[in-house]
């Protein structure tokens, strides 16, 4: 069992308090079902719920409106490896714990990914201290009763790695005949002024939503946007394209300044659905 490492610091450790916080955040998210009903992939931030939770709520509000919500077999959650521990692309074979209960690992899907992939390997160390995937789980548990997941942590966030992750997930989806939704955990530009962060983030988001992977990486390098999970974002973008999604929908963008009022040093957050 992979124990929660962010409970009590980045989100409440008390189940009742956590449920109330998520319900409050979800109630404020305004999402049009017409735009997101056919979504096959999503992006959500992974920061402290006090600052990023209102944006993450848009992602999970959109997921709650998915026309296949009761027929999704597995949620493949891809996050960045920010600790630098473990292998280049680490797959967890454990189930994960949160204050809301345990989240079952789809071992069949994980084992098939490991068997057919060149770069993905079983590695719990790559997940043990990393919070980005964990931050998605209480929201997911709120929306989906007993979700089954596959957890992928990307230390290697290159364009080639993102293409490989997307390709392998889609190949295993087809082989097993499962309905798979991908979720990328990523924050955007950080430690710069609100104005600078927004100026870097918006062009990057545009490339993401238009399925321009090469342009996305070019924009990332040219602007030096410090998005933490750019590899996971590119992976779900490419997976969505393989699933014939027509476009990305920016559901919400904000920075930490929208909560704290401090515009001198911020973190950017985005909620995106690919439908």
- What is the full per-residue pLDDT of the chain (275 aa) written as tens digits? 999 999 999 999 999 999 999 999 999 999 999 999 999 999 999 999 999 999 999 999 999 999 999 999 999 999 999 999 999 999 999 999 999 999 999 999 999 999 999 899 999 999 999 999 999 999 999 999 999 999 999 999 999 999 999 999 999 999 999 999 999 999 999 999 999 999 999 999 999 999 999 999 999 999 999 999 999 999 999 999 999 999 999 999 999 999 999 999 999 999 999 99
Q: Pairing between strand 96-98 and 180-185?
A: unpaired
Task: Read off φ and ψ for residue 74, nearest 5 degrees.
Answer: -145, 140
pLDDT of residue 161: 98
Task: Name the nearest CA neighbour of 15 among 112, 141, 170, 127.
Answer: 141
- How many residues are present in the chain? 275
Task: Name the nearest CA neighbour of 242 among 169, 150, 152, 175.
Answer: 169
Task: Name the nearest CA neighbour of 2 among 153, 119, 115.
Answer: 153
The domain that holds 38 is classified in CATH as 3.40.830.10
pTM value is 0.98
Q: Pairing between strand 96-98 and 101-105?
A: antiparallel
Number of structural domains (the chain) is 1
pLDDT of residue 2: 98
Name the token pair of 20. 């109330």
Residue 44 within any structural domain of the chain: yes
Residue 264 within any structural domain of the chain: yes
Return the exposure string of 77-91: e unless at least 16 CB atoms fall within 10 Å of the residue's CB, then b.
Answer: bbbbbbbebbbbbbb
pLDDT of residue 18: 98
pLDDT of residue 88: 98
Separation CA 30–CA 38 (nearest Å) = 17
pLDDT, tens only, 175-184: 999 999 999 9
Residue 6 within any structural domain of the chain: no
Strand-pairing partners, residue 248, are 274
Name the token pair of 3. 């124990």
Residue 9 within any structural domain of the chain: no
Gyration radius of the chain over CA positions: 17
Query: Chain centroid to CA 67: how far?
Result: 20
Separation CA 271–CA 44 (nearest Å) = 5
Separation CA 192–CA 223 (nearest Å) = 12
Residue 187 within any structural domain of the chain: yes
pLDDT of residue 271: 98
Concatenating the DSSP letter of every residue in 14-76 gives SHHHHHHHHHHHHHT----HHHHTT--EEEE--S-HHHHHHHHHHHHHHHHT-TTGGG--EEE
Q: Is 228 exposed, middle or buried (0-12, 13-18, 19+ CB in 10 A)?
A: buried
Strand-pairing partners, residue 78, are 152, 184
**By the 8 A CB rule, do 262 and 191 touch?**
no
Residue 177 within any structural domain of the chain: yes
Residue 7 within any structural domain of the chain: no
Name the token pair of 195. 């104005």
243 lies in which domain range?
15-274
pLDDT of residue 71: 97
Residue 57 within any structural domain of the chain: yes
């Amino acid at each position: 069992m992979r124990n929660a490492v962010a409970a009590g610091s980045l989100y409440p450790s008390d189940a009742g308090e956590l449920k109330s916080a998520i319900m409050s955040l979800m109630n404020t998210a305004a999402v049009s079902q017409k735009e997101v009903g056919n979504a096959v992939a999503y992006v959500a931030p992974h920061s402290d719920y006090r600052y990023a939770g209102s944006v993450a709520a848009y992602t999970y509000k959109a997921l709650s409106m998915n026309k296949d919500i009761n027929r999704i077999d597995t949620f493949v959650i891809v996050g960045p490896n920010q600790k630098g521990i473990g292998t280049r692309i680490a797959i967890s074979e454990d189930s994960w714990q949160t204050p809301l209960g345990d989240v079952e690992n789809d071992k069949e899907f994980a084992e098939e990914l490991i068997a057919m992939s060149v770069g993905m390997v079983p590695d719990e160390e790559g997940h043990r201290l990393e919070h980005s995937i964990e931050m998605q789980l209480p929201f997911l548990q709120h929306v989906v009763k007993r979700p089954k997941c596959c957890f992928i942590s990307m230390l290697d966030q290159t364009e080639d790695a993102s293409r490989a992750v997307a390709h392998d997930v889609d190949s295993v989806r087809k082989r097993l005949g499962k309905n798979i939704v991908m979720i990328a955990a990523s924050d955007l530009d950080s430690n710069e002024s609100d104005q600078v962060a927004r100026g870097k983030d918006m062009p990057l988001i545009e490339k993401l939503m238009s399925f321009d992977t090469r342009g996305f990486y070019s924009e990332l390098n040219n602007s030096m946007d410090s998005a933490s999970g750019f590899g996971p974002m590119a992976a779900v973008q490419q997976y969505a394209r393989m699933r014939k999604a027509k476009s990305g929908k920016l559901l919400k963008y904000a920075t930490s300044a929208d909560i704290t009022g401090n515009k001198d040093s911020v973190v950017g957050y985005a909620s995106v659905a690919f439908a």
